[in-house]
A and B are shown apart, each in its own frame.
Chain A
Amino acid sequence: MAKYILKRIVMAIVTVLVVSCVTFLLMMSVPGSPFASERALTPQQEATLNAKYGLDQPLPVQMVNYLNKALHGDLGESLKMQKGRAVTDIIKEMFPVSAKIGAMALVWAVAVGILLGCLAAYHRGKWIDSLLRVVCTLGISMPSFVVASFLLILFCSPIAPQLLKSAQLTAIFDAGLGLKAYFMPCFALGLYPMCYTARLTRSSMLDAIGQEYIKTARAKGLKSGKIIFKHALRNALIPVITYLGPLVAFTLCGGFVVESVFSIPGLGRYLVQSITNRDYFIIMGVTIFLAAFVVIMNLVVDVVYKLVDPRIDITKGE
């Protein structure tokens, strides 16, 4: 077990390293000096600036320097968006916003998704199963910006139904504006993962229900609800856990859109803005940070996966 975790950690480090190097090289391949957009510089001034930022050294040396600095928490400075501000500082300010929305969306998505999946499996073939299947297939077919747009139309446009604009309803969300502000982005962000989780849970639950030990439990006279939620769910959850890793990445990237739609000052929106503004240090720093975050989350999920299901023989790599 310890060996496995160690191996996974090494893999994760290699991944982050590869991503960082590729990011750095790609960004450095962009022609033109980063100071080109400033007013015209004399060659001497430019040389001084290059020396100051270490840009006069050969590329591999620059890369090692950058990575070394990155390890010490220095990802460079913003060149345009917030001139002179450290990228780590920006990440520190913006990431918690994104993480909060992402985490809330994930929590509701997974919780509701598992519940609906169990419900569908329990009522297999009944109308409730069909209804859930329709809803979930629809849900995985709508990009988050479509969901967000429809929410906006439903709640905020002049053609919104009067019922939804009534004072009583908005008052529910208005308690200190806390929930109201989170409701729409979290719903838009979590709908796809929710539907995907529900579909996954349903199919793995059906697998689990077909097992012998469930028959035994039934023969013992256990109630259906107890069988589903206590015995079958444990085994049915395993594929759901494997999906959590990609889900984190998905939510993170989905956040780019949702943050843009709802003007949330999160890291995703900032990254997109910095791309339109071509602020290379921010792009580089945030990309490396987010990639590292996703890799670490994947690592955690894999280890949890192993802890949850000791039957899986990970030494064989499967």
Chain B
Amino acid sequence: MADKQKKPVIGSLQPDVDAMLDWDRLTPDDFAPAEPEEKENFIQARRSVSYWSDAWRRLRKNGVAMVALGVIVLLVLFAFVGPMLVPYGYDERNIGAENLFPYHYTLEEQAQYQEAASAADPETAVANARAEAEAKGETLTRKEEALIRAKAKSGGEYAGMSEAEVYAALGIHKHAFGYSNKELQRMADGEKVFPHMFGTDKLGRDIMVRTMYGTRVSMIIGLAAAFIVLVIGALYGSISGYCGGKVDAVMQRIVDVIYSVPEVLVILLISTSLQPHITQFITDHQGNGLAESMRTLGPNLIAMFISFGLLYWVSMSRIIRGQILQLKQQEYVTAARALGASGGRIIRRHLLPNCIGQIVVTTCLQIPSAIFLESFMSYLGVGVSAPLTSLGSMCRDALSGFTSYTYRLVIPAAIISVMILAFNLFGDGLRDALDPRLKK
């Protein structure tokens, strides 16, 4: 065997006995029992890789999912940290700063524009022209004078041009961020003014802060819905799957009924019928903490949460039921039962942990669909109540003036799309990482 040189395998649990033993030079010390420390050194243990770290490793390799995660983190910062940095409130009206665009012209440039665009006094124009002509030794005919008058009346050489075109003709470029004239004046006086980066709406509210709050509302609703779905769906699905038989049949019929009812209708219905009750409750319990929080949320959001609790968990419960049906045939479940474990314990300790991957993925993919639904409802005007805002209701408000104030529609619409996209992509990546069998 000596000629067969064994290559040491790195990380192998087999100690390389050949190299350790030099048969010619053995001393009695070599036969002494090993110290505990030596024993530990002898065992080359490899760090065990847990399910989660394995999944995390796979996820990290997935570039798209990591970018999506980065976008989600940025959006979370935008929604939760952003409002602390901006000195405006989401319902604070900045008087004199209504309808600002996300760009501005300096005061001097505006003065220049005014000068160019305002119709010069026809008589002065004619007098100027006359003086000019006399200097050249000519006289103006009546017709020429009339022409000059008409031209001056209609705004000079910039007649019929839009504001932007006039600025372009004057060679003036836009500067980023919106400032009202008052704010520009204050800046000229040496004060520091926070810009309206996305402009303001018709009530003078800063659109960036509103977008931040809207994103926050959407995210909270997405997370809360996912949580509701997780709890109810996992409970219902696991009980239905584990019990099987008649219980399962009845529970699945209930699911069938719920599944075929469109949730949008239910939200509309519940919010309509709840509105008077909630208003009543709030007026009856002035100053009560619960009533106050209900006032902030508004009846529509409460209706939305109720509907999530009533209807939205159905797909989750179906997925978990399917998993449990498969898993409960496994030997370890039989073993647990033979050892006398109760049904609840088997579900909690054996079945649910084994479909945790599915649960996490379904929960994660539930977030974008809840955000989707919320924006949809807000867009219809049955979402959050004013003055609180959400991305959907911002889009709705912007629609009527989208030809003049396109940015008001584009900004929230883009953010909501990016947010849903990021959650979708991250959920897909998570699915690939947690359950590689499902990868298509």
Contact = CB atoms under 8 A, between A and B. Distances in A.
B252 interface: yes
Interface stretch (B180-188, B331-339, B401-409): B401-409
17 contacts: A15-B257, A22-B269, A26-B269, A141-B368, A149-B409, A156-B403, A253-B262, A253-B264, A257-B379, A257-B380, A272-B268, A272-B381, A283-B269, A283-B272, A287-B265, A294-B260, A298-B259
Interface string A238-278: 00000001000100110011001100000000011001101
Q: Please classify the interface of chain A as helix (H, G, I), strand (E, B), loop, or mixed, using the class held by over half of its residues.
A: helix
- 9 shortest A-B CB distances, which residue pairs? A141-B421, A253-B264, A26-B273, A141-B420, A249-B262, A146-B413, A203-B440, A298-B260, A145-B379
B424 interface: yes
A203 B280 CA distance: 51
Given A29-B273, A153-B402, A261-B399, 14 more contacts: A11-B253, A15-B261, A137-B428, A138-B417, A143-B416, A146-B395, A146-B417, A149-B413, A156-B403, A159-B406, A206-B440, A294-B261, A298-B259, A317-B249
B440 A146 contact: no
A140 B380 CA distance: 19
Nearest to B273: A26
B80 interface: no
Nearest to A124: B440
A143 B376 contact: yes
Given A26-B270, A206-B440, A276 B252 contact: no
Most interface-central of B256, B276, B425 (chain A CB within 10 A): B256
B410 interface: yes
B440 A143 contact: no
A283 B267 CA distance: 12
Given A11-B253, A317-B249, A295 B416 contact: no
Contacts of A141: 368, 417-418, 420-421, 424
Contacts of A15: 256-257, 260-261
A144 B395 CA distance: 12
A82 interface: no
B277 interface: yes
Given A15-B260, A26-B273, A143-B416, A149 B395 contact: yes
Nearest to A250: B262
A27 interface: yes
A11 B257 contact: yes
A221 interface: no
A152 interface: yes
Nearest to B418: A141
Contacts of A152: 399, 402
B88 interface: no
Contacts of A138: 417, 421
Interface of A: 11-12, 14-15, 18-19, 22-23, 26-27, 29-32, 137-138, 140-146, 149-150, 152-153, 156-159, 202-203, 206-207, 245, 249, 252-253, 256-257, 260-261, 271-272, 275-276, 278, 280, 283, 287, 290-291, 294-295, 298, 317
B215 interface: no
B323 interface: no
Most interface-central of A27, A140, A143, A150 (chain B CB within 10 A): A143
Interface string B390-434: 001001100100110010011001001110110011001000000
Contact of B402 (A23, A140, A149): A149
B113 interface: no
B380 A14 contact: no
A23 B268 CA distance: 11
Nearest to A286: B265
Nearest to B382: A275
A202 B440 CA distance: 9
A275 B381 CA distance: 10
B440 to A, nearest CB: 4
Contacts of B305: none
Contacts of A271: 268
A91 B355 CA distance: 46
B103 interface: no
Contacts of A249: 260, 262
Given A32-B276, A257-B376, A142 B264 contact: no
A137 B422 CA distance: 10
A145 to B, nearest CB: 5
Contacts of B280: 31
A317 B402 contact: no
A31 B276 contact: yes
B262 A294 contact: yes
Interface in B354-391: 368, 372, 375-376, 379-382
A280 B256 CA distance: 28
A256 B416 contact: no
Contacts of A14: 257
Contacts of B413: 145-146, 149-150
Given A142-B420, A294-B262, A157 B402 contact: yes
